[in-house]
Homo-oligomer: A and B are copies of this chain.
Amino acid sequence: MANDSNEQKEIEEKKALFVAHVRQLQDQITDTMKKFDPELEITEDIWTRLDANGQDGGGGRTRAFKGAVFETAGVNTSSVFGAVDPKFAKKIGGDGGTFWAAGISLIIHPINPKVPTVHANFRMIQAGEKIWYGGGADLTPYYPHLEDFRHFHQTWSDACKPYGTYQKWKETCDTYFTNTHRDNEMRGIGGIFFDHLNSGDREKDYAMVKDLSTHFIKSYFPIVEKRQSEAFTPEDEDFQLHRHGRYVEFNILHDRGTKFGLESNGRTDSILISLPHRAKFSYRYAPKENSPHAEMMGYFKPCDWI
């Protein structure tokens, strides 16, 4: 190893701090959700895994939610490590020996179609001697409340301001969360997404990702607060459920994390917790002309929101 022992120590410290941070964030988000949804049922599963050699490979804390405001949600943290299965060595980008990865990954599907679905994750990865970060947050609304979309993007733009990264990460997000098999229709209205982040300054990268992750709560929950009691129609719900269908298609067909997780024999229930509780699929589905839902369809493409 090129790193001297002080460097090693500092890296191990960062990893421990990152794990502590995402677990704390998981608790904060859980508490915020409880505040909005007093009927929220939480199933917590602590799981462990074996690595490719059958050795201790870490584990995670999965929290599955079911409530009156949040129909289904998952807020998970994990910290996994060990020998890499040779068939994934290339994908994970390391030296094929060992890896370490930790992070928080969450998805919230509210019942009311006036409240958007949200997804976010923040992760730290070490493969061989390389360390990098990835993450982001994106919104999937079902009703054209443009001020909500602006609030979400403005929050992330402000969060990124010290680092000058919003525009680039917003474009990465627009490109990534796209159903290429549906004429490049986006899953939602985007947000930010970054991967393989490594500036060479370990201290700076860690501080930035930690800082960014703390903006999630204010990017999303004010929208829940504003919309959760709004009335909705059967048409609003039908549109939401068909968009849930597209959400399922994206996650299973295109999402790299989901594919990698399932192919590498990950914990299926923790991975597919991202799927909405109810989804609809219809041949050549299209919302009624001149409806708010038809308008909404026009926003599932790259747009400037700030």
Query: A residues engaging B (CB < 8 A)?
Result: 43, 45, 64, 72, 74, 181-182, 241, 245, 248-249, 252-253, 262, 268-269, 272-273, 275-284
Contact = CB atoms under 8 A, between A and B. Distances in A.
B280 A277 contact: yes
A283 B283 CA distance: 27
B275 A74 contact: no
Given A181-B262, A268-B182, A280 B283 contact: no
Nearest to A182: B268
Contact of A280 (B43, B64, B182, B278): B278
17 contacts: A64-B283, A64-B284, A72-B281, A72-B282, A182-B268, A245-B275, A248-B279, A252-B253, A253-B262, A269-B283, A272-B281, A273-B283, A275-B281, A277-B281, A278-B280, A279-B279, A279-B280
A76 B262 CA distance: 31
Nearest to A270: B283
A267 to B, nearest CB: 10
Contacts of A273: 283
Given A276-B281, A278-B278, A279-B279, A181 B268 contact: yes
A64 B279 CA distance: 19
Contact of A283 (B74, B248, B252, B253): B74
A283 B43 contact: yes
B283 A72 contact: yes
A48 B107 CA distance: 39
Nearest to A272: B281
Given A269-B284, A277-B280, 7 more contacts: A74-B283, A181-B262, A249-B252, A249-B272, A252-B253, A272-B281, A278-B278
A250 B74 CA distance: 22
Contacts of A181: 262, 268
A72 B281 CA distance: 9
A166 B162 CA distance: 67
A284 B252 contact: no
A273 B241 CA distance: 16
